[in-house]
Amino acid sequence: MPNIVVLPGDGIGPEIVDEAIKVLKAADAKFGLDLNYEQDLLGGAAIDAHGVPLADSTLDKCRKADAILMGSVGGPKWDAIEAAKRPEKGLLKLRYELGLYANLRPAILYPQLADASSLKPEIVAGLDILIVRELTGGIYFGEPRGIRVLENGEKQGFNTYVYAEHEIERIARTAFEMAQKRGKKVCSVDKANVLEATVLWREVMERIAPEYPDVELSHMYVDNAAMQLVRAPKQFDVVVTGNMFGDILSDTAAMLTGSIGMLPSASLNQSGAGLYEPVHGSAPDIAGQGIANPLATILSASMMLRYSLNQSAAADAIEAAVGKVLDKGLRTADIYTEGFEKVSCQAMGDAVVAAL
Ligand code: NAD
């Protein structure tokens, strides 16, 4: 019986995760998935209960799980806490401790939502790109880091951008393998004209590429990639990049699709276990109002079925159900445009269940 640890987190997290579980239970009834759920706390909710954003007991459960389904963490209530104990640290620690080095962020524009994008429909219609972001290294984890006081009394903030060869090799392989199943193109994004860490990144990408002769490798500097993503995003198939550049570019890619509320993500480790979460944050501005879009979390649950639980038929069915609901004209507030039916978070979940 596959064991799923469910971490709703903060803000809209509990609302959207409830809808995803509802859909998973419906898929379970249809496909006999036999899933077992264990709910626990992460982020601000864990700080309130245990004084830390990720309790050791929660981490233990996650280590033993087949997959983790998460909502989102953080919010103004915990903003004043010292940096080392903030909600996001719980998530960073979870990613790091489980070795979740590969973050997969598809940016797919459902044709029904082409008008929701801020770009012209012809530039984004049919968009289907996959951003593969390295998640456990780079400047977000590099040591030394901190804020120090210089001899003249002025404060100086500092971080370290560091990548070892094995970290680049494994994310390269993930990107090439994903590309083999898609459009067979990998664009590696770096800043090799300025940063030595990414000179090595580029070298390793070149070294691994011949192992995947059916995949075409290209390179792009991150500033150009940011520009190309909004100028002609359909030129990309798989984009692979480091932690910080991936953080920024994947949010840009997210907005190409019109709503951050539509985008799922998966973070995988070498054993195939994974953490599945929507790309967006805890949206404190709309938490508790029942208006959040649960589709990113529902689609994250479907990625979980596909990548960690080997249930691609159930995953296909959930994705098709989401398409049907959009076809019917149902929209949460974030993707609503005139002429469509505005529905609540819960009604959107119910509609996906009905379409399943
Ligand atoms: P956010 O993604 O939470 O919100 C940005 C905007 O998008 C807001 O207007 C919000 O209402 C809207 N939005 C987000 N998700 C939505 C959904 N499902 N349906 C409808 N609208 C949605 O980003 P933020 O405001 O920068 O951050 C809020 C909090 O979330 C912060 O504490 C931040 O640290 C945290 N955060 C957490 C994660 C995570 O858990 N992985 C990621 C990003 C931000």
Residue 165 has pLDDT above 90, yes or no: yes
Domains held by the chain: number: 1
Residue 271 has pLDDT above 90, yes or no: no
Residue 123 is labelled as binding a ligand: no
Q: What pLDDT does 259 receive? A: 74
Non-local (6+) Cβ contacts of 335 within 8 A are 113, 116, 258, 259, 261, 262, 293
Q: What pLDDT does 110 receive? A: 85
Tell me if 39 is assigned to some domain. Answer: yes
Ligand 1 lined by 321 (C-beta under 6 Å)? no
Tell me if 255 is assigned to some domain. Answer: no
* Average pLDDT for 254-259: 80
Q: Which among 172, 202, 171, 176 has a CA at the least distance from the CA of 268?
A: 171
Tell me if 232 is assigned to some domain. Answer: no
On whether the CB atoms of residues 141 and 178 are closer than 8 A, the answer is no
Tell me if 290 is assigned to some domain. Answer: yes
Non-local (6+) Cβ contacts of 157 within 8 A are 146, 147
Q: Which among 280, 235, 259 has a CA at the least distance from the CA of 334?
A: 259
Q: What is the CA radius of gyration of the chain?
A: 20
Specify the pTM. 0.88
Residue 144, SS3? coil
**Model pLDDT for residues 296-313, shown as the tens digit of each residue:** 999 999 999 988 998 999
Rounded Cα–Cα distance for residues 329 and 347 (Å): 13
| Known active-site residue 60 | no
Q: What pLDDT does 270 receive? A: 86
Domain residue limits at 40:
1-109+263-356
Q: What angle do CA 107, 249, 214 make, to 5 degrees?
A: 65
Mean pLDDT of the chain: 95
CATH classification of the domain holding 353: 3.40.718.10
Q: Which atom of ligand 1 is nearest to the CA of 284?
A: 28
Ligand 1 lined by 262 (C-beta under 6 Å)? no
**Model pLDDT for residues 26-59, shown as the tens digit of each residue:** 999 999 999 999 999 999 999 999 999 999 999 9
At 145, phi and psi to the nearest 5?
A: -150, 160
Residue 150 has pLDDT above 80, yes or no: yes
Tell me if 174 is assigned to some domain. Answer: no
Catalytic pick among 191, 276, 334, 350 = 191
Tell me if 185 is assigned to some domain. Answer: no
Tell me if 15 is assigned to some domain. Answer: yes
Residue 218 is labelled as binding a ligand: no
Q: What pLDDT does 43 receive? A: 98
Tell me if 179 is assigned to some domain. Answer: no
**Model pLDDT for residues 73-120, shown as the tens digit of each residue:** 999 999 999 888 899 999 989 998 999 999 999 998 888 888 778 889
Residue 16 banded pLDDT, cuts 50, 70, 90: very high
